[in-house]
Each structure stands twice: as C-alpha cells, then as structure tokens.
Amino acid sequence: MNAVDVSILGSGPVAFSLGLALARQGLRVALPRVPPLAAAGDLRAYALNAAARTLLKSLKVWDALPADAVTPVYDMHVEGDGSDQTGGRLDFSAWQQGVEALAWIVDAAELDRALHTAARFAPHLVLDSGDVKAALTVLAEGKDSAARDALGVRFERHGYGQVAVAARLRADKPHAGVARQWFRSPDVLALLPLDRPQPQASYALVWSLPGERAQALLQADDAAFEQALAEATGGAAGRLALASARAGWPLSIARAERLCGAGWVLVGDAAHVVHPLAGQGLNLGLADVATLARVIAGREPWRRLSDEVLLRRYARERALPTQAMARLTDGLLHLFATEQPALRELRNRGMTLLNHFAPLKRLLTARALDA
C-alpha cells in the first residue's frame, strides 16, 4: 500500500488541478491512474474566468494548451425574451470594462489532456488506482461522488427538468471573439466562440431546454437541428452548421450539507453544482482548489493535514461565494423563465437600464471574473 500525505479521489479537472497544486508544495499526493485521453469525447468548452486562468498558469497547464484550444472573449451579448417589444438586452465589452478579456473559452478535452500530462511528470505525484494510505482524503469525484455518499454526507439536489445540449458548430462568418446568449423562456442558449475545428469561425453550443424538447433535438437529424438553431439565434452569428455529434447533460442544482470532517474534504462538483447558464461550475471548483491549497500551505507547522480545524478554514472561506453563485444562477433562471407579463416587462426594462449603467456592469464583470 502506498503511503502519501493527500489522496485525491476523482479524475476531473478539479482533482488534477489540486493534485498539481499540492505536489508543488512538496506534499506527496496520490491521484487515480486513468486511461490516457479518457475525456477525448467531451464536447464541452468551459468559459473560464481570470482567477481560473491565473491558477492554471501557475500550474504550468495553461501555456501547455494548444493555441486553438483557448479563445478569448472580448464581447458578450445577452438577449432576453424578444417576443415582446420590451425584449431586454445586455452588452459587455472587455475594452469598456478595462480587462484583457471577459473570459476564455477552453476546449474541455484539451484541458483534461494537459492536466493529465502535467500530472505524469510532476514530482511527488503518484498515479495509483490501488489502496493508498493518506492523512487527508480529498473528494473530487464530481456530482455523483460515491465516497461522499459512503461518508453519509447529505447532498441536497434539485433537478431542473432541463437538459443541456452541447455540440460544436461551424459558422459562415467570423466569431470575432463575441459570446452570445439568449434567454428565451424556458430555453437558455449560449454560443461560445472557439477556434476549433475552424479557426475564427466555430462555436461551442450549450442549449438548456426542457427534457422532452432536448431529447427531440438530440435525436433530430442534422438539418432539423440546424433549422431549430437558426430560429433560436435569428442568424445573429451567421449560418450555423453542426461540426460534431450532440450530447446531453441533465441539469440540477446541488450542495453538500458539509464540506469537511476529520481527514476528509469536498471540492468541485462533489461539493456544489450550479446551472451552466453562467458558465461558473468549474470556475467555482478551481477557486476551491486555490483556496484549499493556500489554507494547507499556510497551516501551522504542528498542525496535521487531517485536522478539522484546518479544513474548516477552507470550508468557511468557500461557503459564501458558492452559495452566492448558486443563488444567482438559480435566480436568473427563474427570472427568465417567468411567464408573468408584468415581471417580464420589469425584467427586460431592468436589463435595458443596466445596459446603460457602466459602473454596475463593471461590478458584475468583476464578480464573474473572480468566482
């Protein structure tokens, strides 16, 4: 049996980022050995914020990503339900906000590949699928974490009855670094600019829809799907054609009743799940990583890694931002799903007002850049 300081369960981006961050402190860390390129089929692209980018840069992972796997977002257009005359609109611009980019769209499979490659070469990191003995066990198994359930930690989960349909698209005009999002009750559709498969003219699609409609669109032939897409986007991003298969993710909001105990701690989706409409799930998970790594690095020399007092410092710091993001995404979803005409009008007028109020927009951008 391998004896290590920290054993991390899970093979996603949060587990591997944390493994790299802790190994850099000289701790002996175990991560599961997973088959190479296991995530090659992931069609998603993550919108990552500046804090996530800073963390991945410090782990030497960001600069190892292929150039066409990372696309900066310079502008973002958000549209409310446009079926009435007050259809609201919000525009964000990196230039106006005084930031380098609003977000970076990163190919999910390439991020996994870069993390797993870095882990193979990191000193102090053991890739081991067998039994390991560790002072601290980190549960980073994603939303269906078996180890969390085995510990008896309650995971309060509410299904949205929605499925996110993801696919890669080609456009017949350049994306120009513009992300677009439509809130068309009850759908939320996002086009995230990407440079692959076609440089300057591809998008990652995330289309959240009620379950039945999502299943119909997942099974529709390519022409019918592209027609539905054209109607939903109104041609704003040009003519869009499928450039990949389609995949669906059932959506829910969830959070663990507690984040740590003696000798164990939860991070990433194993701890909290949010709707992808704001593209914040992995940003929250990477902020967990940065916080836990900092708390561990700053522990008193005599304090053990398993000490719950130490782990509670991490839990206290992460409780507020993760709850706030869950409330924000959930609130937005309900606000845009409302069928009440008065509320819809108020919402759309609010968006239009906000669109002209630069300081508040700057505040919103700053929050999104630093989950």
CB 116 to ligand FAD: min, Å: 12
Q: Which is nearer to ligand FAD, 188 or 295 (CB)?
A: 188
| Entry field: residues in the chain | 371
Q: Which is nearer to ligand FAD, 105 or 305 (CB)?
A: 105
Among 29, 30, 47, 292, binds ligand FAD (CB under 6 A): 47
Bond into 13 cis (ω within 30): no
CB 342 to ligand FAD: min, Å: 32
Q: How many angstroms separate the CA atoms of 355 and 362, rounded? A: 11
Give the number of other CB atoms < 10 A from CB of residue 353: 11
Bond into 197 cis (ω within 30): yes
50, 82 in Cβ contact below 8 A? no
Among 19, 32, 80, 177, binds ligand FAD (CB under 6 A): 32
3-state DSSP: the chain helix, strand, coil percent, rounded to 5? 40, 30, 30
Residue 219-258 contact track with ligand FAD, rule CB under 6 A, x = bound: ------------------------------x---------
Contact flag: residue 15 with ligand FAD (CB under 6 A)? yes
CB 141 to ligand FAD: min, Å: 3
Contact flag: residue 13 with ligand FAD (CB under 6 A)? yes
Rg (CA), the chain: 21
State which of positions 185-214 bind ligand FAD (CB under 6 A). Answer: 206
Ordered strands of the 70-73 beta sheet: 45-48, 103-107, 70-73
Q: What are phi and psi of 346, to 5 degrees?
A: -60, -45
Residue 320-359 contact track with ligand FAD, rule CB under 6 A, x = bound: ----------------------------------------
Among 166, 277, 326, 369, binds ligand FAD (CB under 6 A): 166
Please choose, out of 11-19, 230-238, 340-348, 349-357, the segment that lies near ligand FAD by the rule CB under 6 A.
11-19
Q: How many angstroms separate the CA atoms of 368 and 371, rounded? A: 6
Contact flag: residue 50 with ligand FAD (CB under 6 A)? no
Closest by Cα among 311, 262, 294 to 51: 294
Contact flag: residue 88 with ligand FAD (CB under 6 A)? no
Q: At what angle do helices 308-337 and 341-355 cross, to 10 degrees?
A: 110
State which of positions 136-155 bind ligand FAD (CB under 6 A). Answer: 140-142
Q: How many angstroms separate the CA atoms of 281 and 268, rounded? A: 8
Q: Which is nearer to ligand FAD, 43 or 296 (CB)?
A: 43
Contact flag: residue 179 with ligand FAD (CB under 6 A)? no
Contact flag: residue 71 with ligand FAD (CB under 6 A)? no
280, 239 in Cβ contact below 8 A? no
CB 352 to ligand FAD: min, Å: 26
Among 7, 21, 29, 44, binds ligand FAD (CB under 6 A): 44
CB 317 to ligand FAD: min, Å: 18
125, 5 in Cβ contact below 8 A? no
CB 304 to ligand FAD: min, Å: 24
Q: How many angstroms separate the CA atoms of 151 and 293, rounded? A: 23
Q: Is 174 exposed, middle or buried (0-12, 13-18, 19+ CB in 10 A)?
A: middle
What is the size of the binding site for ligand FAD (CB under 6 A)?
28
Q: Residue holding tokens 């701790």?
A: 27
Instruction: Select the residue whose beta carbon is closest to ligand FAD and give its number.
Output: 12
Q: How many angstroms separate the CA atoms of 269 and 282, rounded? A: 8
Among 281, 292, 329, 347, binds ligand FAD (CB under 6 A): 281
Host H or E run for residue 37:
none
Among 11, 71, 291, 329, binds ligand FAD (CB under 6 A): 11
Residues that bind ligand FAD (CB under 6 A): 9-15, 32, 44, 46-47, 140-142, 164, 166, 206, 249, 268-270, 276, 279-283, 285
